[in-house]
Amino acid sequence: MTDAEQQLVTELVIAGVERREARWLVEEFGDDPVALELAKRRRLRGEPLQYVLGHWPFRTLDLAVDSRVLIPRPETEELVDVALHELAAIDLAAPLMLDLGCGSGAIGLSLLAELADRGVHASLVAIDKSPDALANARSNAVKHTLHSVTFVSSDWFASLDRSLRGRFDLIVANPPYVGNDEFAGLDEVLGYEPRTALVARDARGVGGFADIERIIAESPEWLGPRGVLVLEHGEAHRNAVLRACVDAGFREHHDFDDLAGHPRVLVARR
Ligand SMILES: C[S@@+](CC[C@H](N)C(=O)[O-])C[C@H]1O[C@@H](n2cnc3c(N)ncnc32)[C@H](O)[C@@H]1O
């Protein structure tokens, strides 16, 4: 950093911005005083740093993120590892994947990019109910020149072309899974993110379980014979996801903890 940039960092720190974040803001906006001032005000008002910067790393990709989409989480990076492991076990040259509730595109686009790095030419269908999220995900696909993706506006599987039934090798999903009651007690940063990305109705007497229940119930008919569902869920959802898998007729299912030791990722095979 130049002396002038160091000076800007110091000014931000004096104004109340945490030093590491002040450096990031100066790296991003240091050559534009008006943009830097605006960024400082947004951050000091409590807006998440990721939205203020307008982009955030997720695995190998730098994703554009704004208030239209959920900020991609570290535990979701772990879900991508699980999905890559599952695909490697099926060992297909050109898998067909479905990303349900794609948001910024974090999961599906990462899979496309990392599979391409391994010489696997996958195709992706990315669904979201939010047109705003789809626009954001589209821009991330363009940014990373990921072309083998089709974006579909849909309420989960409802508008998906019926000809795709039984065709997917992998379905990945990080659906909303926070219950209304739980949401009220969570970090205020979540108030900046789209509520529809976070909060789900209760089901089976379990908070925030309705979308997960629907995805587990409807996935089998869209998976191919060796297809696998990899789904992120809340800490309190383990028993309910495993029961839902039995009800949906999945042949095999396992549930894994995240690196923090919380129940987090379901893997279910047809
Ligand atoms: C928790 S966010 C996950 C975003 C992204 N996949 C990620 O992991 O960062 C859930 C996403 O599901 C979408 N969504 C919520 N309800 C939906 C529905 N009924 N059908 C399709 N997408 C839905 C939201 O718009 C949001 O983008």
pLDDT tens track for 9-56: 999 999 999 999 999 999 999 999 999 999 999 999 999 999 999 999
Shortest-distance Cα residue to atom 13 of ligand 1: 101
**Same domain flag for 212 and 110:** yes
Residue 215 lies in a domain: yes
**Same domain flag for 205 and 247:** yes
Shortest-distance Cα residue to atom 19 of ligand 1: 155
Residue 53 lies in a domain: no
**Same domain flag for 41 and 71:** no
Residue 242 lies in a domain: yes
We report the CATH number of the domain holding residue 109 as 3.40.50.150
Q: How far apart (Å, rounded) are the C-alpha atoms in residues 152 and 167? A: 16
For the Cβ of 138 lying below 6 angstroms from any atom of ligand 1, the answer is no
Residue 56 lies in a domain: no
Q: How many residues comprise the chain?
A: 270
Distance 211 CA to ligand 1 centre (A): 10
**Same domain flag for 135 and 226:** yes
Tell me the pLDDT band of 219, cut-offs 50, 70 and 90.
very high
Does the pLDDT of residue 188 top 80, yes or no? no
Residue 154 lies in a domain: yes
Q: Number of folded domains in the chain?
A: 2
Residue 206 lies in a domain: yes
For the Cβ of 103 lying below 6 angstroms from any atom of ligand 1, the answer is yes
Can you list the pairs that 255-261 forms with residues at least 24 positions away whose Cβ atoms lie under 8 Å?
256/82, 258/75, 258/78, 259/74, 259/75, 259/78, 260/75
Tell me the pLDDT band of 120, cut-offs 50, 70 and 90.
very high
Distance 113 CA to ligand 1 centre (A): 20
pLDDT for position 182: 87
**Same domain flag for 137 and 231:** yes
Q: For residue 221, give its domain range.
A: 67-269
**Same domain flag for 149 and 202:** yes
Residue 13 lies in a domain: yes
Distance 173 CA to ligand 1 centre (A): 8
Whole-number average pLDDT of the chain:
96
Distance 101 CA to ligand 1 centre (A): 3
Residue 52 lies in a domain: no
**Same domain flag for 41 and 136:** no
- pTM value surpassing 0.85: yes
